[in-house]
Structure 1
Amino acid sequence: MRKEDKSTVIEQIAATLGEYSHFYLTEAAALDAEKTSALRRACFKQEIKLVVVKNALLHKAMESLDTDYSPLYDCLKGSTAIMFSNTGNAPAKLIKEFRKSTSDLLNFKAAYVEESFYVGADQLDALVAIKSKNELIADVIALLQSPAKNVVSALQSGGSKLHGVLQTLSER
């Protein structure tokens, strides 16, 4: 590959890293063509961008950005595929489901999620448990609605009790 081509690829990788807020580093070299196609289809359905890159070019692209990605540099060995997503836990869930069906042929290396680094296969369960932005918003709304619902139901039940007492008194 010529030097000009390498610099173009590095710029494209850097632009993609800046475009997405979360990314996962995986190793998918052990997958055959059929399983790789299935992985790509699953990624497409969940709006995850899957890109296979050369480690040296990815390293240079990471160095060219403002964020310090140095904890991930040790993971750039062997074959590397990057899963880009705007939902923090979507790739982790996909990897976990895919590993069940392919008998652990898709290896998780590391991830950059919510401005934190997760390195090692043992971090996959922690990443699955991370809630997405929409899930957190739904939780906050549910918590905010709960006291209001309690007050409304208490007022409604109190009103019916008071109405019952008044009606009983009027009948006597």
Structure 2
Amino acid sequence: MKKGILITSAIVMSVILVCSITLLLISQDPIKKAEKETIAIAKESAGLVKATDFYWYNRDKTYFSVSGVNESDEEIMVIVAKDGGATTVLNQDEFITEQQAKALTREDKGAVDILEARIGLDGETPIWEISYKQENGRLGYYVLTAKSGKWVSDIENI
């Protein structure tokens, strides 16, 4: 009797594990597809030869961005609108890095746990959106311009 229960439990656990892995892989597919398409657009429109980071930004509009190196061995950021594919290309000397954006957020917000950084556009302005966890456990979003690091907005206690 106990042997039957153990075998049944092992089978059920195996099925759950396989289903979980399948679900995880399926859920990652849209992200991988968006990254692949964004890199292809960046290669064509900005001469990207090596991609280093991919960002998915959602606010009023959705933007996919990729950072990397172009044919001239310069660091660039390419921001692509999901709808229409309009492309904005920034050279490294035109924007602050993800690490700088996170550092500015820590400097202003103090003891917060930085979760993620995303780059996108607010109208025509490139912005970094830094998500963070406050000391009270609630989420916040700190938005600053990507060109100067100047504060734009802060959404707290979500």
Normalising by structure 1, we get a TM-score of 0.26
Higher helix proportion (structure 1 or 2): 1
Normalising by structure 2, we get a TM-score of 0.27
Could you say which structure has the larger radius of gyration? 1
Higher normalized contact order (CA 8 Å, seq sep 6+, divided by chain length): 1
